[in-house]
């Protein structure tokens, strides 16, 4: 068998395999969150999100926006030394992130069973 024939069979099999993989895994809304930081942030984003009065008053100031909070919940780092603490019948998570203006912030979120509440927003030192 010539090399060109072997290459053609290989490429045909590769295309059939790619279509099969795309068909099996295509329509599913799956995500792979292996690390604890990614799992907690995904859990917080999947729940209805509420703001406390303190957080709402900070959001009315001009230095931070709800987009910054969303980015922090997407790309932030959880301080596990100060997090996962029982607090007001939920668990408190301290998340470090940055604003659009590259200013470091610390966000405290209470994770309840059916909702997440933004407790406070502070500027990092």
Residue 100 pLDDT: 85
Q: What is the pLDDT of residue 30?
A: 66
Q: How many CA atoms lie within 13 A of 39 on its CB side?
A: 5
- Please, which residues bridge with residue 50 across strands? 117
pLDDT at 29: 67
Q: Is 102 helix (H, G, I), strand (E, B) or coil?
A: coil
* Structure confidence by residue, pLDDT tens digits, 58-93: 888 888 888 888 888 888 889 888 888 788 888 899
CA 75 → CA 11, 31, 33, 72, 113, distances in Å?
39, 15, 13, 5, 22
Give the model's pLDDT for residue 79: 87
What local confidence, expressed as pLDDT, does residue 84 receive? 80
Specify the pLDDT at position 89: 87
User: What does pLDDT average to in each consecutive run of 10 residues of the chain (125 residues)?
Assistant: 90 93 75 81 88 86 86 88 83 89 89 90 82
| pLDDT (0 to 100) of residue 15 | 95
């Amino acid at each position: 068998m010539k090399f060109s024939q072997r290459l053609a069979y290989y490429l045909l099999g590769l295309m059939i395999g790619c279509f099969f993989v795309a068909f099996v895994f295509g329509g599913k809304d799956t995500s792979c969150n292996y690390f604890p930081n990614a799992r907690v942030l995904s859990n917080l984003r999947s729940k209805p999100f509420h703001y406390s009065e303190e957080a709402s008053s900070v959001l009315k100031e001009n230095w931070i926006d709800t987009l910054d909070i969303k980015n922090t919940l997407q790309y932030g780092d959880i301080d596990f030394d100060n997090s996962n603490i029982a607090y007001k019948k939920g668990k408190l998570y301290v998340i470090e992130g940055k604003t659009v203006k590259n200013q470091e912030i610390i966000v405290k979120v209470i994770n309840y069973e059916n909702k997440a509440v933004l407790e406070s927003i502070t500027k990092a030192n």
